[in-house]
């Protein structure tokens, strides 16, 4: 603090950013030789995220002057990178804002369930080298849910409400492309009324999800009918759907502490 000013994120932090920049440039230089075969090509988006992160919170890169109208105290607030996932500060803020928007604007006050929908390891490489397929994977999850709830409600026009999030890694930070879904525990009819569904049959939902994913990859030319025939012969297909207990509208308890989802429980996202 100096003369009525408070400096947030002082310029000394730029030294750490410069040190990290050198390390990143070294990593970028050896990536193709040491990591590309295993993790795929170095996407330009990653480079942009890293450079934005290195400039996050540094006053030299721009700031806003904030002044209190009552006491006159002022301080400088450095601009942030506003990047998701990599920057812990900016990502946490976006997560909180998105969660608040989802709860206040999108989600109805009805029971919900948390689902995890995962795919076998043999298929993950196609999503690793072509990230555009991730949006198609999300669509496969939605189409599977829509078909399942339409079947159990016996109304072809009834649809569930769902929010789908894509996660690209598991508990051990290995590549594991899977979906986290918050879905209404029932179907909305054209009248707006909700019919609560019976307990979700994960085996049936798993088969629907498998059908949509394989159909999509076959259409995109990523797999052949021979591979589908091979997967059909497996005792365990590698597809999995996990369903957590019902979430009631007034329930505030975090889902990770519910029965069956303790730290000792191994869900499909662990692999």
What is the DSSP secondary structure assignment for residue 268, as one 8-state letter?
G
Specify the CATH number for the domain of residue 207.
3.30.70
Note down the domain range covering 53. 1-106
Q: Does some domain include residue 258?
A: no
Question: Can you tell me the mean pLDDT for 66-73?
Answer: 86
For 26, half-sphere exposure in the C-beta direction (CA atoms, 13 angstrom radius) is 6
Are 51 and 116 in a shared domain? no
pLDDT at 172: 60
pLDDT at 10: 44
Q: Does some domain include residue 147?
A: yes
Tokens of 24: 């990143």
Are 112 and 245 in a shared domain? yes
pLDDT at 155: 79
- Confidence label for 261 from pLDDT (cuts 50, 70 and 90): very low
Q: Which of 64, 80, 106 is the last residue before a domain boundary? A: 106
Q: Does some domain include residue 271?
A: no
For the segment 41-60, what is each residue's pLDDT rounded down to a tens digit?
Answer: 787 877 777 778 877 877 77
- Confidence label for 164 from pLDDT (cuts 50, 70 and 90): very high
Helix axes 13-34, 44-54, angle to 10 degrees: 160
Model confidence at 270: pLDDT above 50: no
- Confidence label for 3 from pLDDT (cuts 50, 70 and 90): very low
Are 117 and 244 in a shared domain? yes
Q: Does some domain include residue 256?
A: no
Q: Does some domain include residue 261?
A: no
The count of structural domains within the chain is 2
pLDDT at 231: 87
Torsion angle (degrees, nearest 10) of CA 25, 31, 32, 37: -160
Are 137 and 82 in a shared domain? no
Model confidence at 197: pLDDT above 60: yes
Are 122 and 87 in a shared domain? no
Question: Can you tell me the mean pLDDT for 21-46?
Answer: 78
pLDDT at 257: 40
Average pLDDT, the chain: 80
pLDDT at 223: 92
The whole model's pTM is what? 0.71
For the segment 170-192, what is each residue's pLDDT rounded down to a tens digit?
Answer: 666 667 889 999 999 888 888 88
- Confidence label for 97 from pLDDT (cuts 50, 70 and 90): confident
- Confidence label for 1 from pLDDT (cuts 50, 70 and 90): very low
Q: Which of 61, 89, 106 is the last residue before a domain boundary? A: 106
For the segment 130-141, what is each residue's pLDDT rounded down to a tens digit?
Answer: 888 999 999 999
- Three-state SS sequence of 191-213: CCCEEECCCCCHHHHHHHHHHHH
Apex 214 CA angle, 208 and 220, nearest 5: 135
Are 55 and 94 in a shared domain? yes
Are 230 and 128 in a shared domain? yes
pLDDT at 17: 58
Q: Does some domain include residue 163?
A: yes
Residue 220's contacts (CB-CB under 8 Å, 6 or more residues apart) are: 133, 136
Q: Does some domain include residue 62?
A: yes
pLDDT at 5: 45
Question: Can you tell me the mean pLDDT for 26-52?
Answer: 79
Are 5 and 88 in a shared domain? yes
For the segment 200-250, what is each residue's pLDDT rounded down to a tens digit?
Answer: 899 999 999 999 999 999 999 999 999 999 888 888 888 999 999 888 887
Are 88 and 170 in a shared domain? no
pLDDT at 263: 35
State how far the Cα of 253 lies from the Cα of 144, in Å rounded to an integer. Answer: 28
Beta bridge partners of residue 117, listed in sequence order: 179, 241
CB 122 within 8 A of CB 238: yes
Tokens of 94: 């976006």
Q: Does some domain include residue 262?
A: no
Are 112 and 102 in a shared domain? no
CB 97 within 8 A of CB 80: no
Question: Can you tell me the mean pLDDT for 75-99?
Answer: 79
């Amino acid at each position: 603090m100096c003369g009525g000013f408070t400096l947030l994120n002082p310029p000394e932090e730029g030294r750490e950013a410069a040190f990290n920049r050198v390390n990143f440039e070294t990593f970028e230089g050896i990536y193709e030789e040491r990591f590309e075969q295993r993790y795929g090509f170095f996407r330009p988006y990653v480079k942009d995220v890293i450079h934005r992160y290195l400039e996050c919170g540094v006053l030299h890169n721009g700031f806003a002057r904030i002044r209190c109208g009552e006491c006159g105290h002022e301080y400088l607030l450095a601009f942030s990178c506003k990047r998701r996932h990599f920057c812990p500060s900016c990502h946490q803020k976006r997560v909180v804002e998105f969660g608040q928007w989802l709860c206040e604007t999108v989600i109805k006050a009805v029971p919900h369930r948390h689902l995890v929908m995962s795919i076998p390891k043999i298929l993950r490489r196609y999503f690793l080298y072509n990230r555009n397929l991730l949006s198609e994977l999300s669509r496969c999850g939605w189409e599977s849910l829509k078909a399942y709830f339409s079947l159990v409600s016996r109304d072809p026009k009834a649809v569930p409400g769902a929010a789908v999030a894509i996660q690209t890694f598991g508990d051990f930070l290995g590549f594991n492309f899977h979906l986290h879904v918050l879905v209404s525990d029932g179907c909305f009819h054209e009248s707006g009324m909700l019919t609560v569904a019976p307990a979700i049959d994960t085996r049936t939902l798993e088969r629907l999800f498998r059908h949509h994913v394989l159909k999509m990859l076959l259409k995109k030319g990523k797999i052949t009918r021979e591979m589908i025939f091979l997967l059909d012969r497996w005792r365990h297909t590698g597809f999995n759907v996990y369903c957590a207990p019902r979430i009631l509208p007034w329930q505030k308890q975090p889902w990770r502490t519910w029965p069956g989802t303790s730290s000792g429980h191994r869900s499909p996202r662990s692999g």
